[in-house]
Structure 1
Amino acid sequence: MSSTKKLKLEELGRIDIETFKQTQKTPLVVVLDNVRSMHNVGAIFRTADAFLLEKIILCGITPQPPHREIHKAALGATESVDWIYEKDIATALQNLKVDNFQILGIEQTSDSKMITDYSINKEEKYALVLGNEVDGLSEEALSEYDAFLEIPQLGTKHSLNVSVCGGIVMWEFFKSL
């Protein structure tokens, strides 16, 4: 018989929002380009909180907090993770370039690399851009990207849910940064 026990919430040693705000962040920004699902937005916030991301940029039709449906998935992470809204994706990406971010589109393109083959440099800052659930990244901003990454998929489906994809790429970068 194992002596393993599940930890109670108070045993997890989680930081409060004020401590989170003051903690050094992972040099990683997530940009949501016309992501329509409030569940996906909330789940991205929750994952960004887990990995201490610098901020989230919501673009286009992406819903913004506060909203009950976002909160259901975010569980308060909209209060801890910094975020801004930028109507135009190209403007958001140009602003990130001015701040020396490498702009990485998470998309299957003719030029995309497998994320497992991409070298993450600890000296760089990265912006990971996730696109719309159906249409992917906005066509008009494709020239703004430094590279496109995709996640290896071996089954019959050609894509992952946006929040699942976001979690995978955030983890890959968090591990290295």
Structure 2
Amino acid sequence: MRKLKNNELERLNVEEFKEAEKTPLIIVLDNIRSLNNIGSVFRTADAFLIEKIYLCGITATPPHKDIHKTALGATESVAWEYVEDTVSLVEKLKQDGVVTVAIEQAENATMLNDFQIESGKKYAVIFGNEVKGVKQKVVSSVDKVIEIPQYGTKHSLNISVSTGVVVWDLFAKLKTQSKQN
């Protein structure tokens, strides 16, 4: 078995990415401190054709060398927008018919592996600060809360890892659903 070279991977260029049909997922970053984490989220969003990223509160915005270091150009392909207040954004998304979902450990949260996608819906997944998580005001305003099951001694995963886990799971569920319709 031989590893493929980058030019053999048949990836989209930036213009093709912008024109491609997007996965009906939006990522919302609520007060993310680490620029490397932000860049990693952009790269994950690019990999799964995510519709848009909203950067909220203290979350830094491109262009920035530390975001670029991990995004590797994904800030040029993935649509993004800065919105200061996450709760206001959640309310707007809900008015637009988007199902809003905080990724958090909370009472009555649905475990990610048990979460079912509703046909024809678009989802916005909200990831919180590396230390404090998603703000309680945001958790109180969303439609649903999903928790990533964890079985070890630690209480949380890194934000970029959490994004990868959740986006992959929802992407797979959306693709399975679209094949059934």
Would you say the 8 A contact 2:56–2:86 is kept in 1?
A: yes
Look up the match of 1:50: 47
TM-score of the two chains, using structure 1 as the length reference: 0.96
**What pairs with 1:1-177 in structure 2 (closer than 5 Å)?**
4-177=1-174
Shift in Å at residue 142 of structure 1?
Answer: 2.5
Q: Where in structure 1 are there 5+ consecutive unaligned residues?
A: none
Q: Secondary structure at the match of 1:149?
A: strand
Are the aligned partners of 1:90 and 1:144 in contact in 2 as well (CA < 8 Å)? yes
TM-fit CA distance, 1:163: 0.3
State how many pairs are aligned.
174
**Secondary structure of residue in 1 paired with 2:3:** coil
- Which residue in the other structure is 2:177 paired with? none
SS class of match (1:58): strand
SS, match of residue 30 in structure 1: strand
| Structure 2 residue runs without a partner (length 5+) | 175-181
1-structure distance, mates of 2:4, 2:103: 35
CA distance in 2, matches of 1:46, 1:172: 16
> How far, CA to CA, are the matches of 2:32 and 2:73 in structure 1?
20
Give identity over the alignment, percent. 52
